[in-house]
Structure 1
Amino acid sequence: MKEIRKKYFVAFGEHLQKLLVRHNKDVMTIASIGKIEPKQVYRVLNGEHGASMGTIISIAKGLGISPKELFEFNFDLGKD
């Protein structure tokens, strides 16, 4: 289970990177608008850990999107 969580965190970070590009935003902008530390955004981007709900809301605010858009990517839970 630990391995699949790590893979999910990495996939989430990859999806977040695509959203940054799509919305033409950088980490510093997201962090500033969302009022969080850039370090938190970098950790999520790098798949180091899962984001808390507060971090999700802050990142979504920084991107100008709904929080649900951060979860709209494909991930196969059957893969180990």
Structure 2
Amino acid sequence: MTHEQDDPVWAAAWTWVQREFDRTAFDANDRMALAHWRAEHPAHERAYRQAHHLWSLAGNIPARTQDPDRSG
């Protein structure tokens, strides 16, 4: 196992990114919950940004009009 797999914050961030971009329905409640999670601790925000960046590098983000770096 890698360090990332052992890190619960990283695992949560990766799950949020997958939920955000893999599912057809990521509604306002989900966006609010994600924003809350990101704001809970600086480590959450860092892990989310890293996971989002990795996802982006993999080319899995569909075109969106909303800036993914903005919470809310």
Give yes or no for TM over 0.5.
no
